[in-house]
Copies of this chain bind each other. A is one copy, B any other.
Amino acid sequence: MATAIKRLLVGKALRTEQAIHERLTKKTALAVFSSDALSSTAYATEEILLVLAAAAAFTSGASFHYVVPVSVGIAVLLAIVATSYRQTIHAYPSGGGAYIVAKENLGTSPGLIAAAALLVDYVLTVSVSIAAGVAAITSAVQGTRYAWLDNHKVILCLIFIAFIAIANLRGVRESGALFAAPTYAFVVSFLFMIAFGLFHYFTYGGAAAVPGPEALKVAEGYKLQPLTLFLLLGAFSNGCAALTGIEAISNGVQAFKKPEATNAATTLIWMALLLTTMFLGTSVMAYLYGVHPRASETVISQFARIMFTGAFGWFYYVVQAATAAILVLAANTAFADFPRLSSLLARDRFLPRQLANRGDRLVFSNGIVILAIFSGILVSVFGGDTSRLIPLYAVGVFLSFTLSQSGMVVHWLRERAEKANWKKSLVINALGALATFVVLCVFIATKFIHGAWIVVLVIPLLVVLFRAIQRHYVMVAIQLSTEGLEPLRPVKTTVIVPISGIHRGVVSALQYAKSIASDKVQAVYVDFEEEATANLRDKWERWGAGVQLVVLRSPYRELTRPLLRHINRLGKENPNEIITVVLPEFIPARWWQHALHNQSSLLLKGSLLFKKGVIVTSVPYHLDH
């Protein structure tokens, strides 16, 4: 039955040869790889405003004006990082994820740190994107009869995560067809909204944002305070969420049509330009129209509502739908990346080997399930609120940026003999590494108490775990190696059959025991009650098949302990023999009937499992009804 449910959810098994490798054009690749990066424009501006809101009361709202310079600062950082990653694309045309670049150039430990940072980042990508996608939906239904959805954000998030996980277990490939429509719909509707807004503002003047009945929302953990540099840095850190996902193209160079590296580099520039335009555009609009963060409606939704009224009202829903769709796609990206990175780590023995196996739909099913569980836990714990998740988000991202760019610096030093303009490349990557490192420090300083401490704690723990797992696998390999093992010696075995009386199951177990060791067989009975024992002895003549019957006393009405003691005794008497315990077990016809029988043989098996020199064999006797 479990199999039937599995087939229904994930579809038929696929043959190994059915794996398909699609090559993407630049246009499709832009759609496939940029959903994560572009989708962050749906919340980045808002996250900046949420921090600035803490100083709104002290500055009569003027603190919100800083959204523009803060965004410009982030855009500059974006330019540096994108330029830096262009280098990676050319240096690692086979795919240069932070794990690989850091491991190859800086060593295993930095590689593992980068890997841990990325795994954490992928979990957060899912949580943040889904929470933001759900916020787009709950914002859209404000004031309608579906407004109650706002109270069930966590459930909505979990439904989306389950949906994406199942789609990925079925094996959604990163196919152009799936990605192109929502991504371009989002880009076009967003750009249109910004253009329309600017046009409107400069033609008719800004439509004043209608202050809602709701109070201003302030980023959780921030007290109302004057505007300080530290607060501005906090706003900057929050806005850096806009940079997440920018590394996606450098991981996937192999998916491009030839020449891979050139096409990938061009696509990266396009993505960076689009991202800058959309992000800066949104921030400028927030400034011009004076939109402020509210609890029940996103900034984007407020915008779109101001902008598109009357005959254009329907376009509001287009924006919200496209926003929700691209955010779901962004989460979907992590569902491809997390299992892929886990499988790389598992192949290097840093994670359980189950993560390296492709399931019967050719996807890394275990990684998908684990990602779904962790991101589900995160959205549940943080109440499906994007802004509460943001302080956890960028630590992993910027740590992996820093390690990856530092790795590139070392790479250029090594390559200096072969490459003419290695100095220029080195400077670019060094600048990238420095910039991202500084931002990482700012991020940790401003967000530590707001949740970043969790990530700062988890990343080193993960590295310790990776190391412990690898150590275990190495030890197992050494212990199991046939190196130095002498050729086979024949072994002897004594067979004992624990019995609870005489019935068909016992008879067939005795039969089997004699077949595997004709002379050295003994039946063992634990005596609870004298009468039953006498009864058994009477029957033994006829059914015992000449097997020796041993009766053990049990003053505490225990079954397992006297048997174990007997087995130990036998083991001491014949230290060179293996003891085979043949257990008669009858198998009920229906599963619920198991509950009606003593699980004593299960208990016995459990306690014998860890005993050396003992082998347990169940001889099932199948009941028909």
Contacts and interface: CB of A to CB of B under 8 A. Distances in A.
Contact of A488 (B485, B545, B555, B588): B545
Nearest to A492: B515
Interface string A493-514: 1000000001111010011101
Interface stretch (A77-85, A291-299, A469-477, A566-574): A469-477
Interface stretch (A39-47, A174-182, A594-602): A594-602
Nearest to A625: B475
Interface stretch (A50-58, A198-206, A610-618): A610-618
A556 B13 contact: yes
A352 interface: yes
A516 interface: yes
A308 interface: no
B515 A557 contact: no
A358 B543 CA distance: 30
A515 to B, nearest CB: 5
A602 B357 CA distance: 17
A596 B472 contact: yes
Q: Which interface residue of A357, A487, A556, A588 has the most chain B CB atoms within 10 A? A: A556
A92 interface: no
A516 B504 CA distance: 23
B482 A596 contact: no
Nearest to A501: B480
A352 B580 CA distance: 30
B624 A479 contact: yes
A230 B423 CA distance: 97
A352 B599 CA distance: 11
Nearest to A353: B598
Majority-rule SS of A interface residues: mixed
Contact of A615 (B472, B512, B610): B512
A424 interface: no
A511 B491 contact: yes
B514 A596 contact: no
Contacts of A624: 479
Given A15-B556, A586-B476, A619-B615, A578 B512 contact: yes
Interface string A521-541: 000000000000000000100
Contact of A596 (B17, B352, B558, B598): B352
A438 B623 CA distance: 47
B479 A491 contact: no
A241 B479 CA distance: 68
A14 B476 contact: no
Contact of A480 (B505, B595, B612): B505
A360 interface: yes
Given A493-B515, A545-B488, A615-B618, A610 B587 contact: yes
B615 A615 contact: no
Contacts of A511: 488-491
A458 interface: no
A493 B539 CA distance: 27
A419 interface: no
B353 A597 contact: yes
B621 A480 contact: yes
A596 B470 CA distance: 10
A385 to B, nearest CB: 26
A511 B492 CA distance: 10
A577 to B, nearest CB: 10
A555 B505 contact: no
Contacts of A354: 598-599
B482 A556 contact: no
Contact of A469 (B475, B505, B539, B596): B596
Nearest to A612: B622
Contacts of A480: 503-505, 586, 621, 623
Nearest to A597: B353
B558 A13 contact: yes
Contacts of A352: 595-597
A454 interface: no
Q: Which interface residue of A360, A516, A593, A619 has the most chain B CB atoms within 10 A? A: A516
Contacts of A558: 13, 360
A151 interface: no
A76 interface: no
A481 interface: yes
A516 B617 CA distance: 12
Contact of A16 (B556, B586, B617, B620): B556
A482 B510 contact: no
Contacts of A625: 475, 479
Contact of A482 (B358, B502, B588): B502
Contact of A485 (B504, B545, B622): B504
A555 B15 contact: yes
B617 A616 contact: yes
18 contacts: A15-B555, A15-B556, A16-B555, A353-B597, A360-B558, A476-B623, A479-B625, A480-B504, A480-B586, A482-B504, A482-B507, A485-B504, A488-B507, A488-B545, A516-B517, A610-B622, A612-B620, A616-B617
Those 10 A-B pairs whose CB atoms lie nearest each other, nearest first: A480-B503, A516-B516, A617-B617, A488-B545, A13-B556, A15-B555, A352-B596, A491-B515, A480-B504, A479-B623
Given A13-B558, A357-B598, A473-B596, 4 more contacts: A479-B623, A490-B515, A512-B578, A512-B615
Interface of A: 13-17, 352-354, 357-358, 360, 469, 472-473, 475-476, 479-482, 485, 487-493, 502-505, 507, 510-512, 514-517, 539, 542-543, 545, 555-558, 578, 580, 586-588, 593, 595-599, 609-610, 612, 615-625
